[in-house]
Structure 1
Amino acid sequence: MCNLYSNTTTQEAMRQLFDVPPERDELGNASAQPAIFPDGQSVIVTADDAGDRSLRIARWGWKKVRFKNKKYETWLTNVRNLDGWPWEHVIKDRSQRCLVPASSFSEYHPTEKIPGATGKPIKAASWFRLAGETERPPFAFAGVMRRWDWENDGLRKKADAELQASGAQVTAMAFLTTEPNGIVAPIHPKAMPVLLRTEAEFETWLNGTADDAKALQRPLSDNALRLAFTGGKADPTTAA
């Protein structure tokens, strides 16, 4: 679920929303991302031991797995069960928690189709946004992160051979899901991402106790979310 999201919030707006000083912004010149897919470059917000926050880049996907009903490996992008290994350990380690800035997220519609790249019909993406006066109010997913271990985890893809050879550090991330609210359930009845909107929620997820952080695993209220549109694979931010 939720293997596609967007982050069209400006860099300055992210710094303000997540209380990140300019000197701790490691993004360079970040551009809008209307479609972020698994293994794509993603912005994350981290906090050090002193609680100071940074904007950094991670790659979406904790590891590759093969699900029972699949004949191929796919990225593990979402986390649901916080009581099992390794997530019970991860949630207790504040250094492995992060925020994942976003402006909308997508679930594939169960019946609507659009033309694919080869002309064959593919599932249409239904895009969800926060309710609010602005077009795409920014928010964050409750995320988890880890350092990618080239020796034990191998290459994420063949093109990463040079990164591995140079010893470059890559951060892997995933984010938390929960049961869907009444807006998401008709499209995706299994789950929705955990959405955080306030400074209090940001701080609790980054620096709170494991129990307080786990308490944030709840669906957003129906009146706080809107179905923006159903259609293409990228979120057109001009959609109503």
Structure 2
Amino acid sequence: MEVLVTGATGRLGRVLVPQLRDAGHGVRQLSRRGAGPGGVRGDLATGRDLGPALAGAEVVVHAASDPRGNPWEVDVAGARRLVEAVDRTRLRHLVHVSIVGVDRVPLSYYRAKYAAEQVLLASGLPLTVVRITQFHDFVDELLDTARRGRLLPVPMGWRARPVDVADAAAHLTGLVDAPPTGGVVEFSGPEELSVADLARSWAAVRAPGAHVLATPVPGRLGSALRDGGALPVRGEHGRRTWAEYLRG
């Protein structure tokens, strides 16, 4: 099928696009410049060129996001622009990539992601919202940023179920051929771990000799994540473990 991917140059998109092509789909990659093989120009933040970019697309995998900029403009308003521009005469399935916990974790970015979900769910389009847990390589980067010399402070009592980005891409590729659910599904890694255990195994490989210090995090955010706000309630799981990622 003809698949258009937003966010094709991001962490997930760079792995997803080759998998979609290997599955036999024609893939267009939406970006502001339209660069690269299969690149088409379109801007979710302004709506410019979205109509021509989306014309003829049978499936849209919407993975674009702006966690470091203005997610209310790109994620939420961008979702509205996408709904207005999509080719309803051709669209069979819109697969929207979101994050496990957007409805429970009190972060501004998560609130924007949840609002974007609501825009799409109310659109009447044939869609599936896929909430995914944090990617292994993102957790890797977070722990590296958190380390202070030989000390690695992490939140006490938080638990996570990180997933390999290739497993997530394979799951999304399978959904492209599946009928839309019309609702929200979840996808996560194969094992639930405490953040302290994630950090200890990370330190053993990345920073031998570093000491992991679990410290309490007060407030609503700390409470939500101690209560499992970042954990899936249901759904399918990937296969590659955190330990396998670190060894790889």
The alignment's TM-score, normalised by the length of structure 2, stands at 0.33
Q: As a proportion of its length, which structure holds more strand? A: 1
The structure with the larger Rg is: 2
Q: As a proportion of its length, which structure holds more helix? A: 2
